[in-house]
A and B are shown apart, each in its own frame.
Chain A
Amino acid sequence: MRRAPVLVLAALAALAAAPAATAATSATDTVLTTATVGSLDITGGVLPTASVNTVIGSTTEVVGGAMTVSDTRGTTGGWDVTARYVNPVGSVTLAGVVTPVVSVGDDNVKVKTAETLSTVLTGTRSYTAGSFVQVDDQTSVNVAGASAASGGGTTTFSTAYQVTVPTNATLGTVYGAAVEYTVAPKVP
Chain B
Amino acid sequence: MPPSRLQRAPAASTLPHVRLLPAVLAALIALPVPVAAAQQAPAGPDVRGVSVLPTADSPYRSSSGQYLELGTVPAGAVVGDQVVVVNAGDVQRELLLFAVDASPAAGGGYGYSSRRSPQAQVGAWTTLSLDRVTLPPRGRASLSFELRVPAGAQAGSYVGGIVAEPVSGQEAAVSVTTRYAMPVVLEVAGAPPGTTPGRGTPGGRLQLDDVELQTDGDQLCPIIRYRNDSQDPVDPVAEVHVDRLVGSDERSARLPAGVVGAGEARDAELPCVRRPLGPATVSVELRSPRGDARQELRTSWLPWPFVLALLFLVLLVAALLLLLLRGLRRRREQRAVPDADGPGHS
Contact = CB atoms under 8 A, between A and B. Distances in A.
Contacts of B64: 73, 75-77, 185
B127 A137 contact: no
A43 B39 contact: yes
Given A35-B88, A167-B6, A27 B139 contact: no
B45 A52 contact: no
Given A6-B17, A13-B36, A141 B178 contact: no
Contacts of A17: 167-171
A37 B53 contact: yes
A150 interface: no
A23 B127 contact: yes
Contacts of A102: none
B58 to A, nearest CB: 13
A142 B180 CA distance: 14
Contacts of B233: 139
Contacts, number: 376
Interface in A135-188: 135-143, 145, 153-154, 156, 159, 164, 167, 176, 178-187
B176 A181 contact: yes
A33 B139 contact: yes
- Chain A contact residues: helix, strand, loop or mixed: loop
B135 interface: yes
Interface stretch (B21-29, B209-217, B271-279, B305-313): B21-29
A4 to B, nearest CB: 4
A121 to B, nearest CB: 13
B166 interface: yes
Contact of B45 (A30, A58, A70, A178): A70
Interface in B150-178: 159, 161, 163, 165-178
A141 B109 CA distance: 9
A41 B66 CA distance: 12
B252 interface: no
B183 interface: yes
A8 interface: yes
Contact of B175 (A46, A96, A141): A46
A40 B173 contact: no
Contact of B47 (A44, A92, A143): A44
Contact of A70 (B37, B48, B111): B48
Contacts of B111: 82, 84, 139-142, 182
Interface in B226-278: 233, 235, 256, 258-261, 264, 266
A10 B176 contact: no
Contacts of B45: 68, 70, 123-124, 153-154
B111 to A, nearest CB: 2
A89 B179 contact: no
B169 A86 contact: no
Contacts of A185: 64, 66-67, 182-183
Contacts of B32: 93
A184 B182 contact: yes
Contact of B183 (A31, A54, A96, A184): A184
B138 A35 contact: yes
A140 B16 CA distance: 38
Interface string A19-44: 11111111111111111010111111
Contact of B176 (A35, A55, A178, A186): A178
Task: Report the 5 A-B pairs with minimum CB-CB distance, sorted nearest first.
Answer: A140-B111, A57-B9, A44-B41, A80-B109, A142-B107
Interface of B: 5-12, 15-17, 20-21, 23-28, 30-34, 36-37, 39-41, 43-45, 47-51, 53, 62, 64-67, 84, 86-89, 94, 96-99, 103, 105-117, 127-136, 138-141, 143, 159, 161, 163, 165-183, 185, 233, 235, 256, 258-261, 264, 266
27 contacts: A8-B28, A19-B132, A20-B132, A24-B129, A25-B130, A26-B130, A28-B94, A30-B139, A31-B141, A37-B86, A39-B88, A41-B180, A42-B180, A50-B31, A57-B6, A57-B10, A58-B12, A65-B41, A80-B109, A84-B111, A87-B116, A133-B107, A138-B261, A142-B111, A181-B177, A185-B67, A187-B67
Given A13-B175, A167-B5, 14 more contacts: A11-B174, A11-B176, A12-B174, A13-B36, A24-B127, A35-B86, A43-B49, A80-B110, A95-B27, A136-B258, A139-B105, A139-B261, A185-B66, A185-B183
